[in-house]
Structure 1
Amino acid sequence: MYTPPFTISAEAINKIADISRLIERYAIRMEQEDALMLRKANKIKTIHSSLAIEGNTLDEEQVRDIVNGKTVVAPIRQIQEVKNAIATYEQFPHLDAFKESDLLRAHGIMMQALVDNAGQYRRGGVGVFSESGCVHIAPPADRVPYLMADLFEWLSGSSDHLLVRSCVFHYEFEFIHPFADGNGRMGRLWQSLILSRLHPVFEHLPVENMVYANQQQYYDAITASSNAADSGPFIDFMLGEIQKTLEAHKREPIKKVPNKIPNKVPNKLLQAFPEIQSITWSVYLQIAANGHLTTMKMAEILGISDRMVRKHINTLKAKGLITRIGSNKTGHWEVNKI
């Protein structure tokens, strides 16, 4: 089996130990009552930062508006980039970090309507350029399928720590530059996806926001690894970014969000359905207040995805708590009397 060249420094070993400790503290942080708002805020930061690194000029507020379905006046391509990123990150729970086919599928979503060959490896040569000129010539296009197959075989078969594997994959991915466009945002997405195998909190940890704040050091680390023919410098850099991100978020103050659900959902319902989660009751309350609300509008109000709203609605429907009146397009929901 092919093994990418990398060295694990003493610094990296110390960071892995510290990150492992911080992950559990962040996981506890994500169980607090404002976690839904924090996850949504982190999602917006992640999308904004990853695209900003690639030259998208929309600010965080504009990205938030697009996430919330609002109209934004901006270049069409940049809006499309944000919409594609939203759709791709919505697929996060359904993507397998170890499947090459899922990488191609995710690229197809991320680059839809932006490139002609979205979801396919490049068919021509590419290089990475800076103001001073070309800094990297990627391997020939005919080698890309073999290089990527080797990389995925190593990723799934290696016994190295997932923190290390995620960094090595990220660097090797950028070195191969398998796509005609979108390599940067896909490399960062895939590292987060690999890390989510280590712990689910990495789905909501905006490492990319930290990379954006240290963009030059990110590129310097890639260059240093290329010059050394060893991804060790990049491993050190990315582990440092993950460590700093976890440190920053463990100190975030908890926004006190009053729990109004027990005051609005009748006690008899809470007692009859103790298995129903608080967020599901929140969807129930939105329907009780206005059965004509769309799932997208409820998602905006509650700070969760449209897909999750539909999931909670299905739970309520299965429990006999709500009924759909009329068609899916023109009908509305009604709360059943229990």
Structure 2
Amino acid sequence: MKPPYEITPTILQLITAISEKLGAVNANLVSRPSPLLRKENRIKTIHASLKIEGNTLTEEQITALLDHKKVIGPKKDVMEVVNAIHTYENLQKYNPTNEKSFLKAHQNLLKGLLVNAGTYRNQNVGIVKGSKVAHVAPPAANVPFLMKELFEYLKSSNEIVLIKSCVFHYEMEFIHPFLDGNGRMGRLWQTLILMDKYPVFEFLPLETLISKNQEDYYNALAKSDQLGKSTVFIEYMLGIIDASLRQLLDFNNRTLTDKDRLDYFVSLHKTDFTRKEYMNMFKDISSATASRDLKKGVELGLFQKIGDKNKTSYRVLIE
């Protein structure tokens, strides 16, 4: 059964804008950001997603935990971050269309924080905002069937992925299948659905923009609840995706330094290559600039130089 939503002019405009930016991402070598940018974005993603749920740790503390250092903070908050780091470092292991994989991700995110993490709730719940009940979730007995239907939509619908990811996010939040962790699971799973088709979404911190104005996020959910369809939430999330891609392109439209080029080239996991192949990757640099880059790469221990003169080639030394 297809979840209810409409395709509005706003949705069509946003899809066009996002598609253009995704094309620019591929054309400008941004589909695999440098290792440093990937790490920064992962820290921002974890910080923002957990901050929305009330976690108090800072980006600096999350960086320390990512580097396996101890930090001082509430035990629950530290455990949430440790679990999130493990989950986000293993995103490739989850199958976005597989319900068992979905439950495994929840188990990993809520390990040690929630009894029976990784299983659907067995009691009825409501979401309270202030003194009012903002949302009454479907009865617990209906959750397994509703989630099975939602995954069936995800697998069988011919709708474009950008829209399906938003629909899944909203519908999962509406069903509220877990006693805790629904918000972070909705945001995580939308990322997984998107990155299955567009790998760059692994490195896009969508949660950062959501956390900057959480009220818009909750208002979009509430408005969709009132209307009985996810149209408003689709418009909201597509706007977040568009803004995230714009930020990524703005960052990468700067003039690349030799370090930027070397970081990017190493991230491609090539083995042996020539200066010509390096220049084909960065078409706006001269042969002299390429030679200086490669010399620096050798000095930094990134590459090994093999041969001499016109028979020179290079071998990548680090993964």
Q: TM-score, normalised by structure 1?
A: 0.78
| Residue 158 of structure 2 corresponds to residue 147 of structure 1 | no
1:190 paired with 2:189, answer yes
Task: Name the amino acid aligned to 1:256.
Answer: T
Match of 2:297 among 261, 274, 286: 261
Q: C-alpha separation between the residues in 2 aligned to 1:266 and 1:206?
A: 35
Secondary structure of 1:128's match?
strand
Residue aligning to 2:91: 92
Residue pairs, 1:1-338, within 5 angstroms: 2-27=1-26, 28-30=28-30, 35-252=34-251, 253=254, 256=257, 258=259, 259=262, 260-263=296-299, 264=301, 265-268=303-306, 278=316, 281-282=317-318, 312=319
Give 1:214 deviation, angstroms: 1.9
- C-alpha deviation, 1:256, in angstroms: 3.0
How far residue 131 of structure 1 moved from its aligned partner, in angstroms, is 1.4
Query: SS of 2:128's equivalent?
Result: strand
Q: Secondary structure at the match of 2:158?
A: coil
Instruction: Spell out, residue by residue over 1:71-98, the C-alpha distance to the aligned partner (whole angstroms, 9 max, x if none).
Output: 1100011000000001111221111100
Note closer, same or farther for the CA distance 1:204–1:269 as it changes in structure 2 (3 Å cut).
farther
Q: Is the 8 A contact 2:41 2:204 kept in 1?
A: yes
- Give the Cα separation in 2 of the matches to 1:124 and 1:272: 68
CA-CA distance at 1:132 after TM superposition: 3.5
Q: How far has the Cα of 1:31 moved from its partner? A: 5.7
- Cα offset, 1:262, TM superposition: 2.4
Cα distance in 1 between the residues matched to 2:203 and 2:179? 28
Shift of 1:197: 2.1
Could you tell me whether the CA contact under 8 Å between 2:305 and 2:313 is conserved in 1? no
| C-alpha distance in 1 between matches for 2:123 and 2:313 | 58
Q: Which amino acid aligns with 1:99?
A: N
Q: Say which SS state the counterpart of residue 115 (structure 1) adopts.
A: coil
State the Cα distance separating 1:244 from its structure 2 match. Answer: 0.8
How far, CA to CA, are the matches of 1:22 and 1:133 in structure 2? 41
User: Using the alignment, how far apart are the partners of 1:216 and 1:31 within structure 2?
Assistant: 31
Checking the alignment, whether the CA contact within 8 Å between 2:31 and 2:199 is kept in structure 1 is no
Structure 1 runs not aligned, ≥5 long: 283-311, 313-338
Q: Is the 8 A contact 2:128 2:135 kept in 1?
A: yes
Partner of 1:55: helix, strand, or coil? coil
Render the CA deviation track for 1:178-213: whole Å, top value 9, x for unaligned: 011000000000000001122100111111111111
Q: Distance in 2 between matches of 1:122 and 1:266?
A: 55
Give SS of 2:306's match: helix
Q: CA RMSD in A?
A: 2.0
Decide whether the 8 Å contact of 1:49 with 1:209 is kept in 2: yes
Three-state SS of the structure 2 residue aligned to 1:178 is coil
Equivalent pair of 2:121/2:140 in contact (CA under 8 Å): yes
Aligned residues of 1:42 and 1:204 also touching (Cα < 8 A)? yes
SS at match of 1:267: strand
Q: Give unpaired runs (5+ residues) of structure 2.
A: 263-295
TM-score, structure 2 as length reference? 0.82
- Counterpart-to-counterpart distance in 2, 1:8 and 1:144: 27
Moved more, 129-138 or 212-221: 129-138
Per-residue CA deviation, residues 296-320 of structure 1 (Å, 9 max, x unaligned), is: xxxxxxxxxxxxxxxx4xxxxxxxx
**SS of equivalent residue, structure 2 residue 46:** helix
The secondary structure found in structure 1 opposite 2:174 is helix
Aligned residues: 277
